[in-house]
A and B are shown apart, each in its own frame.
Chain A
Amino acid sequence: MKALPALGPTRKLKLPKESERRLPNGLTVIAIRRPAVPLVEVRLRVPFARTHLSRAALLSQTLFSGTADLSTVEIAAELQKVGGGLSAGVDPDRLMISGNGLVSGLERILELLGEVLSGAAYPVDEVATERDRLADRIQVAQSQPSHLARVALLKRIYGKHPYAVQTPEVSQVQAVRPAQLRALHGERLHPAGATLVLVGDLTPEKALDTAERVLGTWNGGGKQVDLPHTPPIEPGPLTLVDRPGSVQSSLRVALPAVDRTHPDHAALQLANLLFGGYFSSRWVENIREDKGYTYGPHSVIEHNEAGSAFVAAAEVATEVTGPALLETYYELGRLASLPPKEEELEQARQYALGTLQLGMSTQAGLATLASTYAGFGLRLNYLPEYAARLAATTLDEVAAAGAEYLAPAKTAVVVLGDAERVEASLRALTAVETA
C-alpha cells in the first residue's frame, strides 16, 4: 500500500490589503486589493428590508432601464466599452447591485452606477417590458420543484415574518406601475447604511478617492428600517405539498441556528458539516453513497439579517421518500445523542478552514464575502477570528451543538411530492398535514 502524503505546513490566513471610508453622504466604501487579473468586482449593498415585494422585485429589473439622458441600451453599451456589466437583485434584507469590468474602467463604471442611482427614470415602455419578463420568469419558477419546495418551507418556518414570502405572484407583478417604482426608489435607494465593495487590481486608497469623487453626490437621507427577529421555528407535523406525477420528492428540513457572532457559531458550523454540510458527511455518505436514494443532498446554515436557520435539502426518488426521511431523522438523532469521533471532527475542521482560504482566492469570492459580511456589520478581519474559533472548538462543544440545534424533535419538515404515492410512508414516521 502506498501511504497518503502528509500535508505541508499550514499557511496562516493572510488578509488582502484594504481601505475603508465612510463618505459624508453615509455610504461606506471598502476597497480591497487582489491584483491577479486586471479587473474590478463591484458590489453595492443597499438595505431594503420591508419593501413592497412585487415593487422591489420589478425595481431591481428596471433600475438600469434608462435615465433622463441614457436609454437601457446606451447604459449597457457604455458599460461594455470598459468591459463592464452591472445587474441588480433583491432579497428580504437588501438590494444588491453587482458587476465587474476592466479595472481601467472603474471610474466609468461608478459614473454609470451613480447616474442610475440618482436618476433612474423607470420609463413606461421599458417598465412594461420588464414587468412581462418578470411575470414570465415567475411562472417558470412556479413549475420548478426546488422553487415550490422553497416557497412551502419559508411559509412553514417564518409564519407571519416578512421572510415568509419572498417571491411575488404574477398578478401582483402585473399591477406595479412606474410611479410606484420611482416612489420606492426615492424612499429607499439612499447611501445611508449602504456599502460599496470594490475588489481588484487597484490601489485601495485611490479607489476610495475615485468612489468618493463619483458617488459623493449621491443624495443622503433615507429612513432606517429594521426587521423584527425571526420567530422560533415551531416543530410540528410534517407539511406535505402535493405535486401529482412527481418522480422525485423534494425533502426540506429546517432547524433553528445562530448568527456568526454567537459563541456557538463555530461548533454549530462543524456539527452541520458532520451532518450534511459537505460531501464527506454522514447524511451524504448514507443516503447517496450507501443507499443511492438521491444525487445532491446538502445542508447549510442560512444567515439572514433577522435570524439564522439550518436547512437540509434533498431530491429523493418518489419510491424511497419515507426511507430517506427515516435516514435523515436517524443521522440528526445520532448527532444530537452521541458524540462524534475525533478524526471525523478533524476532517470537518480542516474542510472549514481550507474553504475559508479558497473563498478568498478570487476577486469575485472576496467581493461577495466582504459584501455579505458588511451586511452583518462584519469586516474581513472576522475571518482570522473565525478561523481561530474553528481551530479551538472541542469535541464536547460540537456534541453540545448537535444536541442543542440538530435534534430531530425540533425539526420543521416539508415534503413536496406525489402525495398519493408518498403520504402513507411519511405517516409511518411522523404526523403529516397536507398544505
Chain B
Amino acid sequence: MERHTLDNGLRVVLAPDRSAPVIGVAVVYDVGIRSEPEGRTGFAHLFEHLMFQGSENLEKLAHFRHVQGSGGTFNGSTHLDFTDYYETLPANALERALFLEADRMRGPRLTEENLRNQVDVVKEEIRVNVLNRPYGGFPWLKLPPVMFDTFPNAHDGYGSFDDLESATVADAAEFFERYYASGNAVLAVAGDLDLAETLEMVQRHFGDVPARPAPERPSFAEPDLTAERRESYTDALAPLPALASAWRVPDPVADYAAYLPYVVLAEVLTDGEASRLVERLVLRDRTVTSVGGYLGFMGEPWEVRDPTAFLLQAHLPPGGDVDKVLRTVDEELDRLATDGLAEGELARTQARMATHLLRDADAALGRALRMAVLEQQRGTPELLNDLPRLVGEVTEEQIQEAAAALVPQRRATVEVVAGEAAGGTQ
C-alpha cells in the first residue's frame, strides 16, 4: 500500500492486488449530510446526483456510458461525514476511470434542466425507500432527531420535498466550490495495478485539477444525554411494532481505543443465534422477532466521526410490549457488565468478526472504499489490514465497561406504532 499527496492537495492511496484482473476506484469528498445548510435538507445527496450529470469534457449520460461501456459498474453514496463516488472495472480500464473522476473533480456541469430532472429522481428515490413502504427511514432518519438537538446531527438527510424543490444551480455551484476541493478529497485505487504506472496516470489526470484547500471542518459535538429520551410515531404501512435505541459512544477517531469495544459489544449482543440478545429476546422470551446492533446511524463503524452512537433495533410480534423489551435489554446489559462473558464467548465473536472484515476486503472496490475513508478521516488507510487484529485484541473487561455505559438515562429511543390499516388482518 502506498500513500501520496499531489501538489494540489489531493491525497492518493494505491493498493495493488493481482488476485483478479479487476480494479476498484474510489473518490471520497469530506462532506456529508451533517454539512448541508439549514433550509437545504437533502442537499448533499442531491448534489451527489449532480456529480453524474456531466462535467468539463463529458456530456450528460457520458459518465455512465463510459464506465459501463468499459465493462464496469459505478455508483455514489452520501453519508453523514463523507460522499463517495466509485467504479469497479476490468483492469484495462483503469486510466479511463481516473480520467472520468478527474474530470468531475474539476467541475460538474450544473444546469437548471439537470437539477430539475434530478430533483424529480431523488423524490422518487425517497418515495421508494421511505414514503411508499413500511418502516421507511427507520431508524436512520427517525432516531437522530430524538437523540440530537442541533441541525447538523438531527435533520433528515434525505431532505424534505420543499427543500429539494427550493434548491438552485447557484446553491450547487457554491457547494461544489466550498466542499469539492482537491484538498478535501481522497482517491484510492485497489486491485490489479502497477504502482509506478498508476501513480504516473494519477498525476497525468489529477495533476492539473486546480488546487483548493479543504474548508475548515466545524465541530458537530453535542453533550451526552443526561436523561432518557423517548418518542414514538405511527407508521400507517407498518404491520408490526418496532423500536430502536441509541447511546452515545466515544469519538471513533480521536478516542479509537475506547470506541473499539463498542463495535465488538454490538456483535456479542446480536450476531447470530448464539449472541446474548438473540438468545434471550428472540429464542427464549419471544418478545421480539428480530434484533440487531451496530455502530453509527448508517451502520458503518469504521466510516463515521463523532458524535455517533451504538444502536439496537428490534421488530416485535403483533401487540409486542416495547417497555418489556427495553427492560430486558437493560437486564442483559447489566448481567454482562456484572458477570462478564462466558468462556469462549468473546473469542468466537471475534472470529466471526474477522470473517466479516476479511470478506469485505476480498473485493477490490471494497478495499478501495474503506481505504479512502480511513485515509480521509484518520490518515491511516493501512488500518484496513489491521482491523481483524485490533478487533481480536479487545478484552473481556473492555466489553464489560462498554456494556456498563449503556444505561437507560443515556438512551434515546424511537418506537414505531403499527398502523391500523396495516395490521390485524391475518
Residues of A within 8 A of B (CB): 1-2, 4-11, 14, 34-39, 64, 72-77, 79-85, 100-102, 126, 129, 132-133, 135-137, 139-140, 142-146, 170-171, 246-248, 278-280, 285, 288-296, 315-317, 346-347, 350-351, 353-355, 357-358, 360-364
B128 x A361 contact (CB < 8 A): no
Q: Output the nearest chain B residue to A243 by Cβ-Cβ distance.
A: B132
Whether B254 sits at the interface, judged by CB under 8 Å, is: no
Contact A358 B72 (CB under 8 A): yes
Does A11 contact B239, Cβ atoms closer than 8 Å?
no
Is B398 close to A, CB under 8 A? no
The yes or no answer to B91 lying at the interface (CB within 8 A) is yes
Q: A36-B20, A143-B238, A361-B363 are in contact. Are A133 and B290 (CB under 8 A)?
A: yes
**Docked pose: A74 CA to B359 CA in angstroms:** 24
* B residues near A142, Cβ cutoff 8 Å: 239
Distance of A347 Cα from B72 Cα, bound (Å): 11
Residue in A84, A136, A293 whose Cβ sees the most chain B Cβ within 10 Å: A136
Contacts of B94 in A (CB 8 A): 8
**B21-A37 in contact (CB<8A):** no
- In contact, A364 and B71 (Cβ under 8 angstroms): no
Contact partner of A347 (CB less than 8 A), chosen from B17, B22, B69, B361, is B69
Say whether A100 contacts B124, CB under 8 Å.
no
Query: Which 3 residue pairs are nearest across A and B when measured between Cβ atoms?
Result: A354-B71, A292-B120, A8-B92
CA distance in complex: A354, B279 (Å): 44
Which residue of chain A has the shortest Cβ distance to B316 in the bound complex?
A136
Cβ-defined partner of B68 (8 Å) among A4, A248, A279, A293: A279
User: What are 13 residue pairs bridging A and B, where the CB atoms are less than 8 Å apart in the complex?
Assistant: A38-B358, A73-B273, A80-B272, A84-B355, A136-B318, A139-B318, A140-B315, A143-B134, A247-B131, A292-B121, A295-B125, A351-B69, A351-B71
A347 x B65 contact (CB < 8 A): yes
Instruction: Please tell me if the beta carbons of A362 and B362 are within 8 angstroms of each other in the complex.
Output: yes
Partner of B61, one of A85, A144, A246, A289: A289
Residue of B nearest to A87 (CB): B272
What's the minimum C-beta distance from B242 to chain A, rounded to whole angstroms? 10
Partner of B17, one of A36, A79, A295: A36
Number of interface residues of B (CB under 8 A): 82
Per the bound structure, the CA–CA distance linking A36 and B15 in Å amounts to 13
Pick from B258-266, B281-289, B296-304 the stretch touching chain A.
Answer: B281-289
Cβ 8 A contact of B118, one of A1, A248, A278, A292: A292
Query: Are B22 and A317 in contact, with the CB atoms below 8 A?
Result: no
Bound-complex Cα distance A121 to B256 (A): 45
Majority SS of interface residues in chain A?
A: mixed
When the two chains form the complex, which single residue of B133, B240, B355 contacts A136, counting CB atoms closer than 8 Å? B240
Given A36-B20, A358-B72, A280 and B96 contact (CB-CB distance below 8 Å) = no
C-alpha gap A347/B20 in the complex (Å): 23
Q: Which of B96, B98, B132, B362 contacts A39 (CB 8 A)?
A: B362
Chain B residue at minimal CB-CB distance from A139: B239
Known: A77-B348, A102-B355. A8 touches B93 (CB 8 A): yes
**A137 CA to B135 CA, complexed, in Å:** 13
B239 touches A140 (CB 8 A): yes
Are B359 and A39 in contact (CB-based, < 8 A)?
yes
Residues of B close to A288: CB separation below 8 A: 121
Q: Are the C-beta atoms of A100 and B355 separated by less than 8 Å?
A: yes
Chain B residues with Cβ below 8 Å from A38 are 358
Task: Specify which chain B residues have a CB less than 8 angstroms from the CB of A280 in the assembled complex.
Answer: 61, 64-65, 68-69
- Residue contact A129 to B71, C-beta cutoff 8 Å: no
* A143→B120 CA distance, assembly (Å): 25
For A247, the chain B residues whose CB sits under 8 A away are: 127, 131-132
CB within 8 Å of A: which of B230-264? Answer: 237-240
User: How far, in whole Å, are A5 and B197 apart by their CA atoms in the complex?
Assistant: 15
Structural contact, A290 and B99, CB atoms closer than 8 A? no
